[in-house]
Amino acid sequence: MGKVAVCVGAVCATAVCVAAALVMRHHMRSSGRWAKAAAIVRELEDKCGTPIGKLRQVADAMAVEMHAGLASEGGSKLKMIISYVDNLPTGDEKGWFYALDLGGTNFRVLRVQLGGKENRVGKQEFEEVSIPPHLMVGTSDALFDFIAEALKKFVDTEDEDFHMPPGRERELGFTFSFPIKQSSIASGTLMKWTKGFYIEDAVGEDVVGELTKALERVGLDMHVTALVNDTIGTLAGGRYYDPDVIAAVILGTGTNAAYVERAHAIPKWHGLLPKSGEMAINMEWGNFRSSHLPLTEYDQAMDSESLNPGEQIFEKIISGMYLGEVVRRVLCRMAEEASFFGDTVPPKLKIPFMLKTPVMSAMHHDTSSDLRVVGSKLRDVFEISNTSLKTRKAIVEVCNIVAVRGARLSAAGILGILKKLGRDTLKEGENQSVIALDGGLFEHYMLFRNSMESTLKELLGEASETIAIQHSNDGSGIGAALLAASHSQYLELEES
């Protein structure tokens, strides 16, 4: 009897030992996974570092590239495109004008009533239209016909308040947010597509010509008066309300900047200097690159797999199209190398661009004690459930590292513009310098925006008292309508 008891006891003891060993092994494996995951996050933080000294180097490099791009065509990664806008709106503009704002995966059509200095922007109506993905990579005719049809439908909704004087064509300001080589205020050839568009037969064509042909095909009597980049539109919209606006920055799906340059500081400008002595310059700063930019293996892999490898490097680390994708790539590596989401890599985590920046922003802004927003987003987007609080915290940390890097580099870019204009130091009696900002990233991703604004203050020191950031809501749309008004074909008739 005693022997049996001893035996049973030995079996029990062995079972306990095995169970303990399994728990220990699981714990060791688990802590090993955590150590590996934590190491990946620490390495990311290190590679994405943006100490003030590095940001100053980025700003200096930006200013140098601006000089080079103004000196000669192709002299810099920054195209520094002459916009042919030498007169920004003054507030005196009057009448009804249309605008078409094509900037990314959506476009907007607007109708605006301008009432001069007294009434400014009176009535305005707009409609937003999503571009079907197949049209972003289809033919030029297909894209522009789709846009012209939407414009025609919008024009058909005019009410009795809309009075076009007899014999006048409707006039349109066309915001086209892709690199174009302008030859006048109302013509420009497409240099290349960005932001996920790739319509080969449109490259090298005059986009106003393409739109005009499409308007004729749908039977709409409308004249394109001004072709502007969204950043130039934002600059015009900002200046309309505030004469101290000197530059505009877009932080949205893509990113760009424009500013007002002294005409005599543009060596590549041939011809008569404009009467105003000024010229709005479209920098195309998304294409900026410098050895000082803190790039990681994730950025390099994303770039090499993109439609435009080696291009738009600055845009790929600071804009809304790419921030979520960088985070997804980091999480994917954590899943593969540290079994971060369990023994298998969630299939949806492997899909490029599955994590959109608005979702990243929602996770980053989660202040609930159990980070339930992070949990629900992981479940909804990647079908990852039952994540621990520790896992969710690590994800928020990755979002923070990627967003803060983008925000601080945006601030360095703005400092580069201020340096070029000599506005980065405190000077007696100088007006305030206002930067107009627009774009969904700036408007909705508050942690990004706050980080950018505080970094700019930090970089400028006491000079920050004379620099203001102003949200120029819908600058690109209203700005295009304003530029259509200030370049109306009927202006001379009215003045004579």
Q: Which residues are catalytic?
A: 108, 177, 230
- 179 in Cβ contact with 191 (< 8 Å): yes
**Sheet of 81-82, strands arranged across:** 81-82, 278-282, 255-262, 245-251, 433-438, 467-471
Alpha-carbon distance 41 to 2, whole Å?
A: 58
DSSP H or E stretch at residue 329: helix 320-338
Q: Where are the alpha helices (DSSP H) in 168-266?
A: 207-217, 230-241
Residue with tokens 């479940």: 379
In the numeric block, which tokens belong to residue 318?
């600071």
H/E run at residue 222: strand 222-228
Burial of residue 330, with CB atoms counted within 10 A of its CB: 0-12 exposed, 13-18 middle, 19 or more buried: buried
d(CA 72, CA 77): 11
- Cβ contacts of residue 63 below 8 Å, gap of 6+? 416, 417, 419, 420
- 310 in Cβ contact with 288 (< 8 Å): no
Amino acid identity of 143?
L
Contacts of 263 (CB under 8 A, 6+ apart): 86, 269, 273, 274, 276, 277, 278, 279
Residue indicated by tokens 């985070």: 327
Report, in angstroms and rounded to the nearest whole number, the Rg of the chain calculated over CA atoms: 27
Q: State the CB neighbour count (10 A cutoff) for residue 368.
A: 10
What is the C-alpha to C-alpha distance for residues 261 and 420, in angstroms, rounded to an integer?
A: 9
Residue 251 Cα distances to 30, 113, 127, 246, 434, angstroms: 40, 27, 21, 17, 16
Q: Which of 209, 175, 191 is nearest to 107 (CA)?
A: 175
Q: For residues 46 and 455, give the distance between their C-alpha atoms in angstroms, rounded to a whole number.
A: 18
Nearest to 334 by CA among 368, 290, 371, 378: 378
| Alpha carbons 46 and 305: distance in angstroms, whole number | 24
